[in-house]
Chains A and B, each alone.
Chain A
Amino acid sequence: MATTEVERRRGQLAALSIAAVVIIVGVPLWWRTTETYRAWLPVSQIKELAKLQLHLSADVEVVFARGTVTPEQQKKVPLTQTQNMEHRVDGDSFNAILTPMRLSNSASVEADLSLHTLSESPSGSLVVYVIPESSSLLPQNVDVYIGQRRTALLRIGSQMRVGKTLEQLLAHMEPRIKQVLHVMSFSHTDITAALSNRVRISPGNKESIADSMRAFKSSPGYEITFSLLNPDPKSHRLHWDIEGAVETYIQPLLTKLSPVANFSIDSQTLYYAMLGVNPRFDSSRSTYTLNADSLAHVINPVEARLGSNAASSNPVLNFLLYIPDAHHSPLYIHDHKKQQVPTNAFHSPRWGGIMVYNVNEFYEVDTVFPVDINIDMAKVMGVFLAQLRLLLGVQSSTPPPGFLVAPCGNAGLADWELDRLMWSRSVENIATATTTITSLAQLLDQIGNIVINDNIAQQVSSAVTSLQLAVSELEAGNLGFALQYSKEAILSSERAFFDPSLLHLLYFPDDQKFAIYIPLFLPMCVPILLSLLKIVSEARQKHREKKPKKD
């Protein structure tokens, strides 16, 4: 009948239009409303960075003093030289690169010990002055003298002189100059130690492990706290001019280290703070002793009372000055061989240092207690400064034989030591930032549910840019800029990685996803599908009926 036909047509049209709306409008709408916002990240650049190849170049200027080169050799100057250094880090080999260098002709220099204060070399470079064998500047058994600034004096050996061209002379001096470079700038062990969080050092190299465990990791800021522990206020009234001492002795070092990190200093006095260990009385010397084994248990009871600045998350270096109480004076620290430690101090890796200061010579047996005592801050700060150098990673290992290193002077830090620190910090920062960015990209890739906001994408991009700049500055040899860019890279990458919005809380296993969607979509989809199937089967039937008719 016509009406049923019309109705059937209407039904078919309705089913088709519903299906069309669902597929064309519904499915994209559902997709768009359930997707998470993910800003674009420079993934290809990050992958590029992960295959990081660092080139470190240090400029070394070699100045020959009068009497070290023959006139024929002198004609060859200016001369450029390049050196290869091949190093393996954790089983990867890499080649070194030859770079042609320009040579400058410098005027004759007076062979004077004040040589080393003359030239102001830029950060990261070295000047090596070669002096004749017979020179009396250096003592007999010393071949190399490393000064406070970025200079070294190298005594030319007898075998290096005889009848050679300048290139051969340089080739002969090369091992010596390489040694100087290893001490003053960077060496294989330094760089490996700086990369120690990416590459586990093999246990065979114990000294470098100890060095890497002792120094604090690279951080944009540190807090230093000086504490005076007075367990016996009834006997001792202590006065220490901590502000003046910090201003005079510690601040110059920290100012010099300002390109590396920010420092904030505070100080406190703690009363009735005892050491957790009872010292033993040594009757042969009639002193009280703390032996090296019991020192490990001293720190913990004290640490609970030290406190720290609640506002910042920077690592804290604690320096404690302990004045023994009157009944346990004098107190000396003994090493494993039962000898007194001359500084009477010890330090703990990545924590700080403790010094014991004896005051029993300030009073006789029958003085009236409490006694006023002024602490000799120069002596105390000398020890604390040495510990600070160790904890910040400034201290270098023992130099090779035949080397004489100048004392570091009143700033507490020689220029080349600062350079060393800057090299290893730059490498460490670049490695850490690269690891952070790479693992962040990996994490965001793996977990599709995390929302990536625009600010995170911006931080990541700026971190990648800073890293690329830092690597290129290292290659060019501009140490100051390289360190600055590497610090910016670290800050951006840490901010991106630790952004509070990146928390992936929702883990949806597949069966839970099905359980949520099926009750919503199945009741709607089943009638549509069935009606579509019905339409298709009717159309096919009609087509089959039509065919015999045509025939």
Chain B
Amino acid sequence: CVGINLRYRFHVSLLCKLVSCFGDRAGQFFSSGHTNNWAVLVCTSRFWFNYRHVANTLSVYRSVKRLGIPDSHIVLMLADDMACNHRNPKPATVFSHKNMELNVYGDDVEVDYRGYEVTVENFLRILTGRLPPSTPRSKRLLSDDRSNILIYLTGHGGNGFLKFQDSEEISNVELADAFEQMWQKRRYNELLFIIDTCQGASMYERFYSPNLMALASSQVGEDSLSHQPDLAIGVHLMDRYTFYLLEFLEDIHPASKTNMNDLFKVCPKSQCVSTPGHRTDLFLRDPGSVLITDFFGSVRKVELTMETINLTDPIDAESGELQKEMHTYADQLPVSEIIHQKPKQKDWHPPDGFILGLWTLILLVFFQTYGVKHLKHIF
């Protein structure tokens, strides 16, 4: 018989640049194309009187965990430890409501970056993925192009910057550049950015990457105010915006269908005193079709497995017994030897009289040079 060789050439060209490709699609309507959720929650201020910022972050952490995002997908950065602070009258707790109603610290909190590890550099490294190779998995943001990410920042801020640890700042330009680098490497599908600081709206002014939605607690020129002090603890417990945000989120459960338009209405001016703002022009989908659980929860898509493979080989039983390793404690030093151990040889010092003799010599030389008559003034 005969044989013929056909070579088929499949010619593909990728002429379009990324940005223009995406721009053409701007008007189209996608259903949320995400398969996993991540959250990066950052508190940037330290010291006891900034208790409310830690409580803000922990209350968002609590909501996000309750709605299903596991600890392995949450990067929690707290700049100071309030629960074990010396000034905390109720150690191991962080309260968000006065009269100590709700302890947001709980008993299974997992803080990934604590204390002085919360810096602008580490925050940008997490976002862009440029961490040293020794960083463990729990400290990385391992998102892909199908991840929806929630980023929450709180602390003290100003027009165009956010203060970290009372010593450095992150500017809105740097943040926008970091998000652009995330977009270039397709590290997110959609990103929700929430910031609760003074003049928070200035931080999202400079964003220019697609698929970003931003919320802030106050406009430029306004201060975000704190909610209520607790007289027993002695500090303000929460900020207003996050307090009402937490109240809103407590009503959300994993199967609820509330959408983003309701989130924009949280904390109107009458309750918050400042005017919360939001930005959705870079977001492709209509906010009314975006569910809260798209960002705050982790609802998995599930498919039923319809096929199975018929396996007929029997299992190989000769893989051998497991090698059992016997572990024993190493012999400790016997007690008698510990008790009667001689002290270690110390370093040699000159005999004690030497220093005294040296000073006497110096004094004698002085008085010989300048006259003995001064001696009587000293002794």
1/0 contact string of A315-355 vs chain B (CB within 8 Å)? 00000000000000000010100000111011111110101
Contact between B11 and A85 (Cβ–Cβ < 8 Å)?
yes
Contact between B1 and A247 (Cβ–Cβ < 8 Å)?
no
B339 within 8 Å of A by Cβ?
no
Report the bound CA distance from A87 to B121 in whole Å: 46
A479 to B: closest C-beta gap in Å: 13
B317 within 8 Å of A by Cβ?
yes
1/0 contact string of B292-317 vs chain A (CB within 8 Å)? 00000011111111111111111111
1/0 contact string of B54-95 vs chain A (CB within 8 Å)? 000000000000001111100000000000000000000000
Total chain A interface residues with beta-carbon distance under 8 A: 137
Report the bound CA distance from A408 to B311 in whole Å: 10
Chain B residues numbered 1-60 whose CB sits less than 8 Å from any CB in chain A:
1-18, 21-22, 24-25, 28-31, 33, 35-36
1/0 contact string of A71-104 vs chain B (CB within 8 Å)? 0001001111111111101111011111101111
Selected interface stretch from B140-148, B224-232, B325-333: B140-148
Chain B residues numbered 171-202 whose CB sits less than 8 Å from any CB in chain A:
171, 173-174, 177, 181, 184-186
Q: Which residues of B contact A84 (CB under 8 A)?
A: 9
**Chain B: number of interface residues, binned into ranges:** 35 or more
B323 within 8 Å of A by Cβ?
no
A335 to B: closest C-beta gap in Å: 6
Selected interface stretch from A47-55, A134-142, A229-237: A47-55
Contact between B1 and A64 (Cβ–Cβ < 8 Å)?
yes
B279 to A: closest C-beta gap in Å: 21
Contact between A347 and B7 (Cβ–Cβ < 8 Å)?
no
Contact between A341 and B306 (Cβ–Cβ < 8 Å)?
yes
Q: Which residues of B contact A308 (CB under 8 A)?
A: 72, 137
Report the bound CA distance from A156 to B304 in whole Å: 38
A481 within 8 Å of B by Cβ?
no
With both beta carbons as reference points, the residue of chain B lying nearest to A104 in the complex is identified as: B3
B343 within 8 Å of A by Cβ?
no
B274 within 8 Å of A by Cβ?
no
Contact between B304 and A94 (Cβ–Cβ < 8 Å)?
no
A273 within 8 Å of B by Cβ?
no
Q: Which residues of B contact A82 (CB under 8 A)?
A: 6-7, 9
A168 within 8 Å of B by Cβ?
no
Most A CB contacts (10 A, CB to CB) among B130, B138, B312 go to B130
| A101-B5, A101-B6, A203-B30 known; A378-B311 Cβ under 8 A | yes
Contact between B124 and A81 (Cβ–Cβ < 8 Å)?
no
1/0 contact string of A190-206 vs chain B (CB within 8 Å)? 01000101111011000
Most A CB contacts (10 A, CB to CB) among B36, B132, B181 go to B181
B277 within 8 Å of A by Cβ?
no
With both beta carbons as reference points, the residue of chain B lying nearest to A73 in the complex is identified as: B2
The contact of B7 among A101, A106, A342, A407, by CB within 8 Å, is A101
Contact between A412 and B309 (Cβ–Cβ < 8 Å)?
yes
Q: Which residues of A contact B308 (CB under 8 A)?
A: 342-343, 379, 382-383, 386
Contact between A427 and B12 (Cβ–Cβ < 8 Å)?
yes
Contact between A348 and B8 (Cβ–Cβ < 8 Å)?
no
Contact between A248 and B12 (Cβ–Cβ < 8 Å)?
no
Report the bound CA distance from A347 to B302 in whole Å: 6
| A383-B305, A386-B308, A436-B185 known; A87-B1 Cβ under 8 A | no
With both beta carbons as reference points, the residue of chain B lying nearest to A203 in the complex is identified as: B30
| A54-B13, A505-B121 known; A304-B5 Cβ under 8 A | no
Chain B residues numbered 199-242 whose CB sits less than 8 Å from any CB in chain A:
none
Contact between B3 and A443 (Cβ–Cβ < 8 Å)?
no
The contact of A244 among B29, B128, B315, by CB within 8 Å, is B315
Q: Which residues of B contact A533 (CB under 8 A)?
A: none
Contact between A74 and B11 (Cβ–Cβ < 8 Å)?
no
1/0 contact string of A234-274 vs chain B (CB within 8 Å)? 00000001011101110000000000000000000000000
Contact between A351 and B300 (Cβ–Cβ < 8 Å)?
yes
Chain A residues numbered 427-474 whose CB sits less than 8 Å from any CB in chain B:
427, 431, 434-436, 439, 442-443, 447
| A85-B11, A197-B145, A381-B311 known; A92-B305 Cβ under 8 A | no
A16 within 8 Å of B by Cβ?
no
Q: Which residues of A contact B15 (CB under 8 A)?
A: 51, 53, 92
Q: Which residues of A contact B140 (CB under 8 A)?
A: 313
Selected interface stretch from A5-13, A293-301, A365-373: A293-301
Contact between B6 and A502 (Cβ–Cβ < 8 Å)?
no
B68 to A: closest C-beta gap in Å: 4
Q: Which residues of B contact A69 (CB under 8 A)?
A: 1-2
| A56-B9, A58-B7, A198-B21 known; A63-B2 Cβ under 8 A | yes
A491 within 8 Å of B by Cβ?
no
A62 within 8 Å of B by Cβ?
yes
Q: Which residues of A contact B287 (CB under 8 A)?
A: none
Contact between A351 and B9 (Cβ–Cβ < 8 Å)?
no
Q: Which residues of B contact A410 (CB under 8 A)?
A: 311-313
1/0 contact string of A375-419 vs chain B (CB within 8 Å)? 001110111011101100000000000000001101010000000
Q: Which residues of A contact B268 (CB under 8 A)?
A: none
A181 within 8 Å of B by Cβ?
yes
Residues of B whose CB lies within 8 Å of any CB of A are 1-18, 21-22, 24-25, 28-31, 33, 35-36, 68-72, 120-121, 124-125, 128-132, 136-138, 140, 142, 144-146, 171, 173-174, 177, 181, 184-186, 254-255, 298-317, 319
Across the A-B interface, the 10 shortest Cβ-Cβ residue pairs: A439-B184, A77-B2, A300-B68, A56-B10, A244-B315, A53-B13, A106-B3, A63-B3, A345-B305, A94-B13
Q: A60-B8, A345-B304 are in contact. List 17 more A-B contacts (CB 8 A).
A: A53-B15, A57-B10, A59-B6, A61-B3, A62-B4, A83-B8, A85-B9, A244-B317, A244-B319, A296-B299, A350-B35, A382-B310, A385-B309, A389-B309, A390-B305, A503-B124, A507-B174
